[in-house]
Amino acid sequence: MTLAHVIGYPRIGADRELKRATEAYWQGDIDQQALEAIGRDLRLANWAAQREAGLDLVTVGDFAFYDQVLDVSVLLGAVPARFGAEEEVARGEVALDTAFRMARGRAPSGEPAAACEMTKYFDTNYHYLVPELRPGQRFRLASSRLFDQVDEARSAGHPVKVALTGPLTWLWLGKGRSDAGDDFDRLALLDGVLDVYVEVLQRLAGQGVEWVQLDETALVQDLPLAWRQAFERAYHRLQAAPVRLLLASCFGGLGDNLSLAVGLPVEGLHIDVVRAPAQLEAVLDRLLPHKVLSVGAIDGRNVWRADLALLRERLATARMRLGERLWIATSCSLLHVPVDLAAETTLDAELGSWLAFARQKLDETAALARLLDGRATAAERDRVEAASRALQSRREAPRLHRPEVAERMAGITAADIRRRSPFAERAVAQQRHLALPLFPTTTIGSFPQTAEIRADRRAFKAGELSCEAYEARMREEIARVVARQEALGIDMPVHGEPERNDMVEYFGEQLDGYAFTRFGWVQSYGTRCVKPPILFGDVVRPAAMTVRWSEYAQSLTARPMKGMLTGPVTLLQWSFVRDDQPRETTCRQIALALRDEVVDLEAAGIRAIQIDEPALREGLPLRRAEWQGYLDWAVECFRLAASGVRDETQIHTHMCYSEFNDIIESIAALDADVITIETSRSAMELLDAFQDFAYPNAIGPGVYDIHSPNIPEVAWMVALMEKAAERIPVERLWVNPDCGLKTRGWAEVEPALANMVEAARELRRRH
């Protein structure tokens, strides 16, 4: 019998119950007991769903009020000293509020303290809390939450598998800082960490748990030799624990870690055959005869319905060779997809028939296992038929394959991805046209999204405000924003983006080939969820998207108004993308649509256009060897979008906080006339990469951190720009904030920008 399980399940609830409850708790509207009860109900419902779908094991350990990596840190007693939790750790029970303070700096009880750093989890849009490590750190079992959850599942009568971030991946995700601020060897902490893992496994065994899945996602990345050796050491140590271990590798292929992974002394291995189908053969050939292989065949990172008939065929050999040792699973935790397609009552039926969300993927996983065993029920066989029919209709649907798009794609030439003249010549033409002072000032695009703007949009979407009335309100707002920038003396104003709810959704809604869900929420971090659009078909721009707004804004001022677009890579990266063609093909289609918009903006008299690419860096593949291939097409897509204009038209781009060092060549290859970047938190150190590379074009290094409500002082910004001027010639420097201002209030924005303009004036006096 082929066993079916999932690597993890979303915890937010079909209606974001967890978000509501957690926020209510933070606000003091419900007490901790009530919050815990809601958490328990969600777990029970999720386990019941897994069993109802026919899975053989339920997964325990994937629940967290904020973040599962944070919960492992708490489990290990890795609570930084500033949270004052020594006693809680010693007692073995870190309080929920302590975990919340680690996550967000404050909680209903306990002293506020600086929150732990948060960053993206591998190549997903999920953010985890970075474990803070220091030399000589001690660990001890400091939470019984996991064990309580196991009891809960067992008393509900469920067969339990526990899932937990593995010890190496936990360290890999951590950041090791000594008091002197330098990095130290995180592996020095491994033994201490393992002591606690052994204790955890023993306790789980005592509760009757047979299988524990250790998520070792680090195995799909390039590992230094010392880390590979540490895997050997760690798993030999864990082998002693009286449970069976399933070593899980998700998000990619094991690659050069394959021998390492198949050789570790564990009872089972999980591999991702959605991202890396070719590794199945290699693993089958190498797997020791007593080991279980969990094949992650149902896509946990995307929303498409599985082709069960095809998977049955592809996995038939594995079933034959492994017999009962084959398990069927999702490729990774379902945390990364929306909860339940059944809630999408407004999606058109055809499109809906092509999709599967987490709840549907449970059915698919169970059905695939039973199909492979030849014990599918008549109803399940019907479901396979239905899936095949739906997928056939998807393959043939005319709205997916538009001949005009194919034709345009085939006609792209080298000239289309190159500006007419090199930067030096363009810069002269632009200066003639724009007449900007030294150290020109600008902003990144958005201005405060006030309560009134959001209320207007809600009313419009609810049909309570007519389209004309809504547009009139947005124009009023634009007029206000432009007037304020004039008064402040900003050299290159923006329209402020009031009409945009979100920088991806806004464009997706206007492009063919994109669909939107009503409840397709996916956890981004903590209680924050996002609703990524679904890119299902060829991308076509039926009409101009931003031109009327920019044109109107330009009509209000003699200064050059900067047009504002989201770039092709970011539109791709922050959506669920079709899986029937390479990502780069889809990206190129988006780029073509944006190219038309750029050209239309130029024709409407817009002399500078910003194409935001904050997601460029995060699209980097998990393996170094694949970076260049990705960067090449990403850069090409940006250039395809940007290069339709005359030399005089200035192309800007913007990127949020990123490491630029290792991708600087590609950043330069974008050939944007101006790039604005987030640098203030790094005290301009990020510019070193640009200086070392002799970056040729203009740069606007953000001079103040928009994430903070503090008003930056003139002298502070002047000093930062002086640092920048040591690295980049002043003729190529711009003065701007770090990022968009939409989350700030006017009370902060006005004085901050006034100081920024004053700083630019002071710089002009000095240079």
Give contact residues for Zn ion (rule: CB under 5 A). 614, 656, 739
What is each CA distance from 393 to 321, 514, 577, 581, in whole angstroms? 34, 18, 18, 16
Q: Is there a binding annotation on residue 291?
A: no
Residue 338 binding: pick among ligand GLN, Zn ion, none (C-beta 5-8 Å cut-off by kind): none
Q: Is there a binding annotation on residue 61?
A: no
Q: Is there a binding annotation on residue 654?
A: yes
Contacts with ligand GLN, residue ranges (CB under 6 A): 444-446, 497, 503, 564, 612, 614, 654, 656, 739-740, 742
Active site residues: 707
Residue 314 tokens, joined:
């592809």
Q: Is there a binding annotation on residue 528?
A: yes
Q: Are strands 160-165 and 58-60 parallel, antiparallel or unpaired?
A: parallel
Least distance (Å) between residue 569 CB and ligand GLN: 13
49 or 569: CB nearest ligand GLN: 569
Residue 564 binding: pick among Zn ion, ligand GLN, none (C-beta 5-8 Å cut-off by kind): ligand GLN
Distance between CA atoms of residues 56 and 292, nearest Å: 15
568 or 614: CB nearest Zn ion: 614
297 or 741: CB nearest ligand GLN: 741
Q: Is there a binding annotation on residue 17?
A: yes
Question: With 0-12 CB in 10 A as exposed, 13-18 as middle and 19+ as buried, what is 542?
Answer: exposed
153-159: long-range contacts, CB 8 A cutoff, minimum separation 24:
153/43, 153/47, 153/58, 153/60, 154/207, 154/208, 156/44, 156/47, 156/48, 158/47, 158/50, 158/51, 158/58, 159/56, 159/57, 159/58
Instruction: For residue 125, give every residue at least 6 positions away whose Cβ sits within 8 Å of its Cβ, in sequence order, or none.
Output: 336, 522, 524, 530, 532, 574, 618
Tell me if 734 sits within 8 A of 674, measured CB to CB: yes
Distance between CA atoms of residues 394 and 754, nearest Å: 54
Least distance (Å) between residue 656 CB and ligand GLN: 5
DSSP H or E segment with residue 213? strand 211-215
Q: Is there a binding annotation on residue 633?
A: no
Q: Is there a binding annotation on residue 18?
A: yes
Backbone angles phi, psi at 233, to 5 degrees: -60, -45
Least distance (Å) between residue 498 CB and Zn ion: 18
Least distance (Å) between residue 120 CB and ligand GLN: 14
Distance between CA atoms of residues 283 and 263, nearest Å: 11
300 or 614: CB nearest ligand GLN: 614
Whose CA is closest to 84, among 62, 107, 68?
A: 107
Residue nearest to ligand GLN (CB): 740
Residue 477 binding: pick among Zn ion, ligand GLN, none (C-beta 5-8 Å cut-off by kind): none
Distance between CA atoms of residues 261 and 249, nearest Å: 9
Tell me if 288 sits within 8 A of 262, measured CB to CB: yes
Residue 238 binding: pick among ligand GLN, Zn ion, none (C-beta 5-8 Å cut-off by kind): none
Residue 49 binding: pick among Zn ion, ligand GLN, none (C-beta 5-8 Å cut-off by kind): none
Least distance (Å) between residue 739 CB and ligand GLN: 5
Tell me if 294 sits within 8 A of 327, measured CB to CB: yes
Q: Is there a binding annotation on residue 236?
A: no
272 or 497: CB nearest ligand GLN: 497
Least distance (Å) between residue 369 CB and ligand GLN: 42
Q: Is there a binding annotation on residue 529?
A: yes
575 or 736: CB nearest Zn ion: 736
Least distance (Å) between residue 488 CB and Zn ion: 20
With b for 16 or more beta-carbon neighbours within 10 A and e for fewer, the 179-213 pattern comes to eeeeeeebbebbebbbbbbbebbebbeebebebbb
What is each CA distance from 573 to 561, 704, 727, in whole angstroms? 28, 27, 32
32 or 708: CB nearest ligand GLN: 708
Distance between CA atoms of residues 442 and 491, nearest Å: 6
Question: Residues at the annotated binding site for Zn(2+)?
Answer: 654, 656, 678, 739
Residues placed in the known binding site for 5-methyltetrahydropteroyltri-L-glutamate: 16-19, 120, 528-529, 574, 618
Binding residues: 16-19, 120, 444-446, 497, 528-529, 574, 612, 618, 654, 656, 678, 739
- Output the known binding site for L-homocysteine: 444-446, 497, 612
